[in-house]
Structure formats: C-alpha cells, structure tokens
Amino acid sequence: MTPLRQSLELGLVLCRTCGLAVSRASLKVDQRCPRCQSRIEHRTPFSTEMTLAWLIAGIVFYIPANLLPVMHTSGLLGEADSTIIGGILEFWRSGDWDIALLIFIASVAVPLTKFIAIGLLLLTVGKSSRWQQHQRTVLYRVVEFIGYWSMLDVIVVALTSALMQFQVLGTAEPRAGIAFFCGVVVVTMLSALSFDPRLIWDQRV
C-alpha cells in the first residue's frame, strides 16, 4: 500500500473556511485564501489550549444550568419553578413522552456527548495517538453538526412562555437556569470550532 502523504510534504495548506488547497509558496506573498480571503495557517495557534478552556467553561456552566430553575409557571394551581430534569419528568408523567424525550436529548444527551467527544479528541491529540484517526475525524464532524441543534431546549422554553402569555389561567417566565444553558451551548460550540481537526492526522498512519 502506498503510504499516505501529508499536505506539508506536498507543499499545500488547506483553508479551513472553504476547503481550498493552497500552495505554501503562494502564502509567502499573501497569508489569505485566494477564494474566501480567510487567513490560512498550517495549524490553528493554541488550538488545544483554547478548546480545553472552552470545554471547562461549558462544564462549569452545565452545573447551574441543571440545578437552577429554567422556567417559572403560575396559574390556578399555584406557582412552581421547573429545572430541566424536573421538566422532563413532568412531561413524562403527563404522557407527553415525545416532548420529554426531545428535551432530554437536547438538554442532557447532546451536551454530555459533546463533553465526552471533545475530551476524547483532546486526550488522543495530546498523546499524539494514531488510534482510529478516520473515526475521530468523523466524530469531530458529528460534534460540529449536533452543536447547531443544542438550542432546542431554549426554543421549547421560549415557545412555552410565549404561548402561556395568551392564556388567562396561567403564565410562564424563563429563569436563570436557561441563561446558563445558553452559555453551555455557546461555549461548547466555540470549543468545537477552536479544535483543529488536522491535528488528528499529524501522526502518520
């Protein structure tokens, strides 16, 4: 089998924005991509450090996001504050298992999956591991994709609050927990964007 060759050996650098392979010789004149004008670098500076910092911030935000109430409801039966887990259990008990499952996936499964996946990528890159390089690249793309769906729980709270404002018998208002959850979504997306997947392939197969 012909050994794989890295872009550095071929005199090429890949633009992370548009995917164009640019000659390293041309970058001596202009460090920007000729197609999208993004700055091109062989590897993103401080990629692992920034990814780790954002990951830790996401984990820190995730704790109050689950402990603090995300919504306050009031009506004929009284007032109540609901946490994410409490809301999931309430929907499940009332028979709305589809909404409960949706919130569980968006609020619990997706963030935890992203924490574990990004942590695994950082660990293997830090050890210069050659383990499952193709699969780890796919894992990174999956994490990058599901990040855009992490705001589903925020949307559910916003829609519930808006709909209940039109009801005479009850109202709903967002609480501090939802702000921390928004923080989790934002910093985990920044963590994934800070990671340079080309680092996975720096160790030759």
> Residue 128's pLDDT is what?
76
Q: What is the spatial order of strands in the sheet that 170-174 belongs to?
A: 78-82, 71-75, 170-174
> Residue 61's pLDDT is what?
92
- pLDDT category at 13 given cuts 50, 70, 90 is confident
CATH architecture of the domain covering 46-201 = Up-down Bundle (1.20)
> Residue 1's pLDDT is what?
44
Domain boundaries, the chain: 1-42, 46-201
CA contacts within 13 A on the Cβ side of 193: 9
pLDDT at 42 over 60: yes
Which residue, 73, 61, 68, 14, is CA-closest to 42?
14
pLDDT at 3 over 60: no
Pairing mode of beta strands 170-174, 71-75: antiparallel
Helix (H, G, I), strand (E, B) or coil at 194: helix
- pLDDT category at 162 given cuts 50, 70, 90 is low
pTM of this structure: 0.73
**Both structure tokens of 15:** 């633009």
